[in-house]
C-alpha cells in the first residue's frame, strides 16, 4: 500500500533549484533517470548512493564534531540541505541524537541564536511589523497545505527563560519531533516565533542580537498581537493544529483556555508534560495495585509545568476514578517560592491559577514554618506523608536525603518524579533516591539518567524518561489527521492511557515506568490511534472513518524519510 511518503511527486524545479531545496534534494541519491530529467547529470558526481550510504557518510561526519553544540549546528545544516537525509539519520540514531536536536543541547543553541545565525527558518512575526502581519503570513503560507503551526513567544524557554527571537529554535525543534516521531509531513508544518521583545538584559545589550531589541510587550497590546495571528490561522487554515510552546506562566494556560473552544490548540508545557506524567503515574499505580485517587501528591514547583501536571492528574482522577473535581483537588499539595500554597499566604502571593489547590490553614496548625511564616518541603512531607513527590522547580537537589527518607517512612513504594531538566536541575539524582529508599522507589525523570544499582543485588533499575516526546507528537497528530474541532481533555487522557498500557513495568514491576525512547515512533503511533478512536467516539472528529479503519488511515497518511520518485512537470510542486 502506498503511503504519503512513497507516492511519486511532480516537481517543477530543475538544476540548482532542486539541489538547493531541502524538501526535494536527494544529493547523490538522485538516480540516473532523474538526473537526466532534472538537468543534474553534470551537477553531481557519477556514483549514485543509496540513502543508507548517505546516512553512513553523514554519521561519520557528525562524529567528527566533538561537542554537542557543534553536532547540533551540523545537523541544522544538514536539515537545511536535505530533509529526507536529516530525518533518516535521526531515525537510525534516535536515542543518541534527540538530546542533540532537542533538550538539552537545543537550549544552548537557542541561547546563542544570534551568534550562531546562518539562515532563517520558519516565520518571524514582529511587533513593530504587526500592520503587515497578514501579508507576511500569506507570503510564507500561500498555496501550502499547512496542518501544523508550532509557535512560541520565547518567554520561558527550556529552563533558561526569556530568549527573545531565539524562540524560533524551540519551535523548529518541536516541529522536527512531530515529523520524526509522528510522521507529519515537514512541508505541512511551519514554525513561528512571535517576537514581542525581550526582558533579557544580555540580549538587549548584545550588538549581534537579530530580534527586536525592545522590552517585552505585555497586556492588551500583547493579547491583540497574539489574537491577530490566531485569527489568521482560523481564517486560512481552520482545520490545522496550533501548538503553543514555552509561553510564560502568566500567558500559557490563559491563552490555551482562551482559544481551545475556537480552534484545535495544544500547549505542550501544560498538556504534554501533564499527559506523559499521567501515563507514568498510571503505570506506577499499576505496579502498586492502587488507584490514582488513593495517592497523596506533593508537587514541588507550581509554574506552568507543575500546574499542567497537577491539572492533568486531577482530570485523570475525575475521568478514571470518577471522583468529583473538588474531591480530586484535595489530593494535591502544591508548593512554590513561598512554600506550601495555603490560605494565609494572602492574595498577593496566591496566583489565580492555583486557587483550586489552596490548602486551608486549619490543616497546618502547629506545623513549623520558616522566618517568613512559610511551610517548607520537609515539613510538608512530614505532615502529608505523600505517596507521590513531583519536582518541577528547576531547583537541583531540592529533594534531599532527609526529605526522601522521610517520605519513604510513610509508603511502601514511594513514587518520585524529579522532572526538571536539564539533569543538573533535577530535584534529586535518581541514584541517590534509589539508595535512600533501599531500592523501593518507583521513578521517572525529566532528563536521561543511567540505571540505578539495586542495593540488594539483582538487575539494575531503569529510570524512565518522562519525556513529552513520548506522547505529544501522537496527541497532536491524532487531532490534526481527524481535523478535530478541538483537542479535548478526554482525547488527551485516552492517549495517556494508551501510553501507560505500553509500560514495561506492567509486565515486570522492577522495570521502567515508560517505554524506552528508542520505541518513541511506535509509541506515538499507538497514542495517535487512541486519540483518533476517542475523537470518533465523542464526535470531535471531522472525518467519517470507522474505528476499525483507523490504523490503516494513519499509516497511509504518515510521512517517512524515504526518497519518493520524482517526475518533472512544469506545473508541479516548487
So where are the chain's domains? Answer: 9-98, 110-267, 272-342+375-468
Q: Is the pLDDT of residue 222 over 60?
A: yes
Q: Residue length, the chain?
A: 574
User: According to the annotation, is 202 in a ligand binding site?
Assistant: no
pLDDT classification of 481: cutoffs 50, 70, 90: very high
Within 10 angstroms of residue 537's Cβ, the number of other Cβ atoms is: 13
Contact (CB, 8 A) for 495 and 274: no
Q: Is the pLDDT of residue 3 over 80?
A: no
User: According to the annotation, is 72 in a ligand binding site?
Assistant: no
Contact (CB, 8 A) for 49 and 32: no
Contact (CB, 8 A) for 195 and 212: yes
Q: Is the pLDDT of residue 253 over 60?
A: yes
DSSP state of 351: -
| Bond preceding residue 427 cis, omega within 30 of 0 | no
User: According to the annotation, is 294 in a ligand binding site?
Assistant: no
What's the pLDDT score for residue 574?
83
What's the pLDDT score for residue 399?
97
Identify which of 561, 504, 492, 571 has the alpha carbon closest to the alpha carbon of residue 530: 492
Distance CA(390)–CA(401), nearest Å, equals 15
Q: Is the pLDDT of residue 246 over 60?
A: yes
Distance CA(521)–CA(474), nearest Å, equals 9
User: According to the annotation, is 215 in a ligand binding site?
Assistant: no
Distance CA(566)–CA(29), nearest Å, equals 12
Within 10 angstroms of residue 530's Cβ, the number of other Cβ atoms is: 24
Q: Is the pLDDT of residue 331 over 70?
A: yes
Q: What's the per-residue H, E or C state across 248-314?
A: CCCCHHHHHHHHCCCCEEEEHHHHHHHHHHHHHHHHHHHHHCCCHHHCCEEEECCCHHHHHHHHHHH
For β-strands 464-465 and 442-445, DSSP reports them as parallel
Mean pLDDT of 155-184: 94
User: Active-site residues: which are they?
Assistant: 102, 174
Q: Would you put residue 385 in left (φ > 0), alpha (ψ -120 to 50) or beta?
A: left
Identify which of 170, 78, 148, 62 has the alpha carbon closest to the alpha carbon of residue 118: 78
Measured CA to CA in angstroms, residue 214 lies from 195, 197, 410, 458 at distances of 10, 5, 51, 58
Q: Is the pLDDT of residue 552 over 90?
A: yes
What's the pLDDT score for residue 5?
62
What architecture (CATH level 2) is domain 9-98? Up-down Bundle (1.20)
Which residues, listed in sequence order, are joined to residue 161 by a DSSP beta bridge? 157
Q: Is the pLDDT of residue 300 over 60?
A: yes
Q: Is the pLDDT of residue 454 over 90?
A: no
Mean pLDDT of 391-399: 94
pLDDT classification of 97: cutoffs 50, 70, 90: very high
Distance CA(133)–CA(216), nearest Å, equals 18
What's the pLDDT score for residue 135?
97
What's the pLDDT score for residue 502?
97
Q: Is the pLDDT of residue 1 over 60?
A: no
Contact (CB, 8 A) for 242 and 442: no
Give per-residue pLDDT as tens, 383-392.
999 999 999 9
| Full strand arrangement of the beta sheet holding 189-195 | 123-126, 189-195, 148-152, 241-244, 264-267
Distance CA(435)–CA(431), nearest Å, equals 6
Mean pLDDT of 505-521: 92
Q: Is the pLDDT of residue 325 over 80?
A: yes
Contact (CB, 8 A) for 43 and 15: yes
What's the pLDDT score for residue 322?
95
In degrees to the nearest 10, what's the CA dihedral of 237, 467, 557, 31?
A: 110
Distance CA(263)–CA(19), nearest Å, equals 37
What's the pLDDT score for residue 249?
84
Mean pLDDT of 304-322: 93
Distance CA(321)–CA(121), nearest Å, equals 45
Q: Is the dihedral of CA 537, 543, 545, 549 positive or negative?
A: negative
Identify which of 478, 485, 480 has the alpha carbon closest to the alpha carbon of residue 540: 485
Identify which of 268, 144, 260, 240 has the alpha carbon closest to the alpha carbon of residue 479: 240
Averaged pLDDT of the chain: 94
- Coil/strand/helix, residue 94: helix
Identify which of 484, 461, 478 has the alpha carbon closest to the alpha carbon of residue 541: 484
What is the C-alpha R_g of the chain? 24
Interacting residues of 380 by C-beta distance below 8 A, sequence separation 6+: 298, 333, 335, 339, 340, 386
Please say whether the structural domain 110-267 has been given the CATH code 3.65.10.10.
no
**In the chain, % of residues over pLDDT 90:** 84
What's the pLDDT score for residue 6?
67
What architecture (CATH level 2) is domain 272-342+375-468? 3-Layer(aba) Sandwich (3.40)
Q: Is the pLDDT of residue 164 over 60?
A: yes
Angle of CA points 349, 352, 358, to nearest 5°: 70
Distance CA(268)–CA(270), nearest Å, equals 5
HSE-up of residue 33 (Cα within 13 Å, Cβ side): 4
Name the phi and psi angles at 145, rounded to 5: -90, 80
What's the pLDDT score for residue 509?
86
Please tell me which of 5-9, 54-58, 510-514 the model is most confident about, judged by mean pLDDT: 54-58
Q: What is the largest CA-CA distance in the chain?
A: 84
Domain 272-342+375-468 in the same topology as domain 110-267: yes
**Kind plus residue range of the DSSP H or E element containing 150:** strand 148-152
Angle at which helix 51-63 crosses helix 68-81, to 10 degrees, equals 150
Q: Is the pLDDT of residue 2 over 60?
A: no
What's the pLDDT score for residue 304?
84
User: According to the annotation, is 370 in a ligand binding site?
Assistant: no
Mean pLDDT of 64-85: 97
Q: Is the pLDDT of residue 510 over 60?
A: yes
Amino acid at each position: 500500500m502506498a503511503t504519503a511518503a512513497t507516492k511519486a511527486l511532480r516537481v517543477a524545479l530543475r538544476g540548482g533549484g532542486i539541489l538547493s531545496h531541502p524538501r526535494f534534494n536527494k544529493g547523490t541519491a538522485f538516480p540516473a533517470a532523474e538526473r537526466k530529467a532534472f538537468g543534474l547529470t553534470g551537477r553531481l558526481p557519477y556514483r549514485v548512493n543509496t540513502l543508507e550510504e548517505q546516512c553512513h557518510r553523514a554519521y561519520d561526519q557528525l562524529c567528527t564534531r566533538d561537542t554537542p553544540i557543534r553536532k547540533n549546528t551540523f545537523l541544522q545544516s544538514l536539515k537545511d540541505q536535505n530533509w529526507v537525509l536529516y530525518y533518516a539519520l535521526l531515525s537510525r540514531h534516535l536515542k543518541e541524537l534527540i538530546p542533540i536536536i532537542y533538550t538539552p543541547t537545543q537550549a544552548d543553541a537557542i541561547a546563542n541564536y544570534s551568534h550562531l545565525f546562518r539562515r532563517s527558518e520558519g516565520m518571524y512575526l514582529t511587533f513593530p511589523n504587526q500592520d503587515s502581519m497578514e501579508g507576511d503570513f500569506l507570503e510564507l503560507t500561500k498555496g501550502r497545505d499547512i496542518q501544523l503551526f508550532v509557535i512560541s513567544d520565547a518567554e520561558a524557554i527550556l529552563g533558561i527563560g526569556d530568549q527573545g527571537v531565539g524562540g524560533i529554535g524551540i519551535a523548529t525543534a518541536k516541529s522536527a519531533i512531530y515529523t520524526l516521531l509522528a510522521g507529519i509531513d515537514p512541508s505541512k508544518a511551519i514554525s513561528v516565533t512571535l517576537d514581542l521583545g525581550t526582558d533579557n538584559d544580555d540580549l538587549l545589550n548584545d550588538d549581534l542580537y537579530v530580534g527586536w531589541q525592545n522590552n517585552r510587550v505585555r497586556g492588551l497590546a500583547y493579547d491583540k498581537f497574539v489574537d491577530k495571528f490566531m485569527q489568521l490561522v482560523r481564517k486560512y487554515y481552520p482545520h490545522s493544529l496550533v501548538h503553543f510552546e514555552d509561553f510564560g506562566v502568566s500567558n500559557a494556560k490563559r491563552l490555551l483556555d482562551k482559544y481551545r473552544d475556537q480552534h484545535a490548540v495544544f500547549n505542550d508545557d501544560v498538556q504534554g508534560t501533564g499527559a506523559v506524567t499521567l501515563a507514568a503515574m498510571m503505570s506506577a499505580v499499576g505496579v502498586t495495585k492502587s488507584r490514582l485517587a488513593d495517592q497523596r501528591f506533593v508537587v514541588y514547583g507550581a509554574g506552568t509545568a507543575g500546574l499542567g501536571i497537577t491539572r492533568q492528574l486531577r482530570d485523570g482522577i475525575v475521568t478514571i476514578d470518577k471522583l468529583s473535581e473538588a474531591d480530586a483537588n484535595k489530593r494535591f499539595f502544591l508548593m512554590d517560592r513561598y512554600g506550601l500554597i495555603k490560605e494565609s499566604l494572602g492574595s498577593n502571593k496566591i496566583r489565580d491559577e492555583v486557587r483550586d489547590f489552596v490548602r486551608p490553614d486549619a490543616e497546618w496548625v502547629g506545623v513549623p514554618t520558616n522566618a517568613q511564616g512559610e511551610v517548607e518541603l520537609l515539613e510538608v512531607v512530614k505532615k502529608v506523608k505523600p505517596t507521590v513527590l513531583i519536582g518541577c522547580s528547576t531547583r537541583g537537589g531540592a529533594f534531599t536525603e532527609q526529605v526522601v527518607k522521610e517520605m519513604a517512612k510513610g509508603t511502601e513504594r514511594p513514587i518520585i518524579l524529579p522532572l526538571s531538566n536539564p539533569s543538573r536541575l533535577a530535584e534529586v539524582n535518581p541514584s541517590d533516591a534509589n539508595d535512600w529508599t533501599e531500592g523501593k522507589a518507583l521513578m521517572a525523570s525529566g532528563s536521561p539518567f543511567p540505571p540505578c544499582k539495586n542495593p540488594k543485588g539483582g538487575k539494575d533499575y531503569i529510570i524512565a524518561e518522562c519525556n513529552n516526546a513520548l506522547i505529544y507528537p501522537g496527541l497532536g497528530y491524532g487531532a490534526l489527521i481527524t481535523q478535530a474541532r478541538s483537542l479535548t481533555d478526554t482525547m488527551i487522557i485516552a492517549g495517556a492511557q494508551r501510553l501507560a498500557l505500553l509500560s514495561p513495568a506492567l509486565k515486570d514491576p522492577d522495570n521502567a515506568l515508560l517505554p524506552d525512547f528508542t520505541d518513541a515512533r511506535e509509541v506515538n503511533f499507538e497514542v495517535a490511534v487512541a486519540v483518533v478512536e476517542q475523537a470518533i467516539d465523542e464526535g470531535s472528529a471531522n472525518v467519517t472513518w470507522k474505528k476499525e479503519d483507523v490504523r490503516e488511515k494513519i499509516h497511509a497518511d504518515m510521512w517517512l524519510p524515504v526518497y519518493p520518485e520524482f517526475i518533472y512537470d512544469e506545473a508541479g510542486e516548487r
